[in-house]
């Protein structure tokens, strides 16, 4: 399943600016809320996940994972859920720990390598279906690819798609630290601050707000919070241990990586071209346009949703 040729994706004219495309799709697109049914999964460590489900009696399930500081309320999660339901899939859209509107119970939260939580979702839901697929966006894409590689032939996911995925976490963090991306970095740190403030009240012995206003990059944040709260030495250790790039060679199920060439979040290291050329299982598709989790089509639909469904149908046929 090789490096695929550039697909015939033609966005509207305004979406050819990657920053406009990324911001409009992420912040200003209004999508009807799916008729979710929420299911809470109790985790082995005493925490919980809230999973929003669309159950229509199908025998196929697609698990969907959101990006950093996202939730099932993000436009890209809603559009894909609608598309999957129409294509004959039940949907399980996962809110990572602390992202469902209710603070999780523990000092730890979610991160780019938190694959054990994906296993817990599969343990609960996979036995009820004959076919299971999964889609991950951005951070969720990294989590998904890492899980696919960790489990290899034992994986219960039959096919997977990762969209706008920073599979090299260090390179992605450095990319977002550049001057051109300051607005995204500022927005992430502002959103993450809210969660850290809550945890500082819940766990004052473990979490402190001291110095938060001096943070400027993901290295700063991951050194101060992600690494110590999740068992890593520092940001470099976290990035090295959790980057899905190091697990791609072990993936044994059909998997599509869909990263736009103009994605402002992704440096060249996040386009594993040589690996895709030699892999029997990984397909890499690099549209010229798309921004970060954008892919608005000229008719107002989302091109990546169509591509996800097409890939899953082909891979599972």
**Active-site residue list:** 138, 263, 292
Closest CA to 81 of 47, 35, 114: 35
Tallying the residues shown for the chain, one arrives at: 317
C-alpha distances (whole Å) from 118 to each of 35, 74, 81, 92, 150 are: 23, 19, 18, 11, 12
Burial class, 46, CB count within 10 angstroms (exposed 0-12 / middle 13-18 / buried 19+): exposed
Strands 60-65 vs 37-42: parallel, antiparallel or unpaired: unpaired
3 state SS of 136: strand
3-state secondary structure of 83: helix
Q: Cβ of 256: how many Cβ atoms within 10 Å?
A: 24
């Amino acid at each position: 399943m090789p490096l695929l040729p550039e697909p015939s994706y033609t966005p509207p004219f305004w979406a050819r600016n990657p920053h406009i495309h990324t911001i409009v799709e992420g912040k200003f697109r209004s999508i009807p809320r799916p008729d979710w049914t929420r299911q809470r999964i109790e985790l082995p460590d005493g925490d919980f996940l809230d999973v929003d489900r669309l159950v229509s009696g199908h025998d196929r399930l697609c698990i969907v994972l959101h990006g950093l500081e996202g939730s099932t309320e993000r436009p890209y999660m809603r559009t894909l859920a609608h598309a999957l339901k129409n294509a004959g899939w039940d949907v399980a859209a996962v809110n990572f720990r602390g992202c469902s509107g209710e603070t999780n119970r523990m000092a730890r939260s979610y991160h780019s390598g938190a694959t054990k939580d994906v296993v817990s979702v599969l343990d609960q839901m996979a036995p009820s279906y004959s076919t299971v697929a999964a889609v991950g966006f951005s951070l969720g894409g990294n989590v998904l690819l890492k899980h696919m590689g960790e489990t290899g032939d034992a994986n219960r996911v039959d096919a997977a798609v990762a969209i706008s995925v920073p599979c090299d976490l260090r390179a992605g963090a450095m990319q977002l630290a550049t001057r051109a991306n300051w607005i995204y970095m500022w927005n992430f740190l502002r959103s993450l601050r809210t969660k850290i403030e809550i945890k500082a009240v819940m766990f004052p012995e473990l979490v402190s707000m001291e110095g938060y206003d001096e943070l400027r990059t993901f290295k700063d944040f991951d050194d101060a919070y992600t690494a110590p709260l999740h068992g890593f030495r520092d940001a470099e250790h976290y990035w090295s241990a959790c980057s899905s790039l190091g697990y791609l060679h072990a993936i044994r199920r059909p998997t599509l990586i869909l990263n736009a060439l103009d994605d402002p979040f992704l440096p060249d290291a996040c386009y594993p071209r040589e690996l895709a050329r030699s892999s029997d299982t990984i397909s890499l598709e690099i549209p010229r346009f798309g921004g970060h989790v954008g892919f608005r089509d000229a008719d107002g639909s989302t091109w990546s949703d169509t591509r996800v469904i097409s890939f899953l149908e082909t891979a599972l046929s």
